[in-house]
Copies of this chain bind each other. A is one copy, B any other.
Amino acid sequence: MNKAEMKQAVLAAKRHGGLSWSDIAEAAGLSPEFTCSACLGMNHLEERSATAVAELLGLSTDVADALQTFPDKSWVNTIPTDPLIYRWYEMVNVYGETIKELIHEEFGDGIMSAIDFTMKIDREEDPKGDRVHVTISGKFLPYKSW
């Protein structure tokens, strides 16, 4: 079972079981964000988490195995088309140089890791219309000179 088949199986079982990503994350003992990304095939789970997710969803050990496989991260559109994801792409390009300026000012020359990295997505209530509140934390990695 490859990652694409695993993803379809998980999404179908989630819908059928009326489960939320929080329910699945609780079984995995991880955050909804990471758990969801693993179920979509972009991260892997450790054995304990993978087994718990498969059991909660009533899926076979094939799914648990596929969840543990190290993924090959790839995407089809170099520029995303879905409006929700494109807005993020736009944000990275409109504010990319700003982010670079501010990180360099605070930390020096280096990057914010996309590997040692966490993300949290919440609802932020607002009388003018609720907002999506995102918290991202990435380790600063200074460029090494040698």
Whether A78 contacts B80 by the Cβ 8 Å rule is no
Residues of B within 8 A of A101 (CB): 21, 36, 40
B145 touches A140 (CB 8 A): no
Is B96's CB under 8 angstroms from A80's CB? yes
Q: Please, which residue of chain B has its CB at the minimum distance from the CB of A128?
A: B139
Answer whether A133 and B132 are a contact pair too, CB < 8 Å, given A84-B100, A84-B103, A106-B123.
Answer: no
Q: For the complex, is A33 an interface residue (Cβ under 8 Å from B)?
A: yes
Once the chains bind, are B115 and A146 in contact (CB under 8 Å)?
no
Q: A75-B81, A82-B74, A133-B137 are in contact. Are A146 and B42 (CB under 8 A)?
A: no
Q: How far is the CA of A89 from the CA of B83 in the complex (A)?
A: 11
Chain A positions 73-121 with a Cβ under 8 Å from a chain B Cβ: 73-75, 77-119, 121
Contact (Cβ within 8 A) B87 A114: yes
User: Which residue on chain B has the smallest CB distance to residue A22?
Assistant: B105
Which residues of chain B have C-beta atoms less than 8 A from A36's C-beta?
A: 98, 101-102
Question: Looking across the interface, which residue of chain B has its beta carbon closest to that of A122?
Answer: B106
**Once bound together, how far apart are the Cα atoms of A128 and B139, in whole Å?**
9
Contact of A43 among B33, B99, B143 (CB under 8 A): B143
Please determine whether A73 and B83 come into contact, CB atoms closer than 8 angstroms.
yes
Say yes or no: A107 contacts B132, CB within 8 Å.
yes
In the complex, chain B residues whose CB is within 8 Å of the CB of A134: 99, 112, 134-138
The 8 Å CB contact of A81, one of B73, B124, B130, is: B73
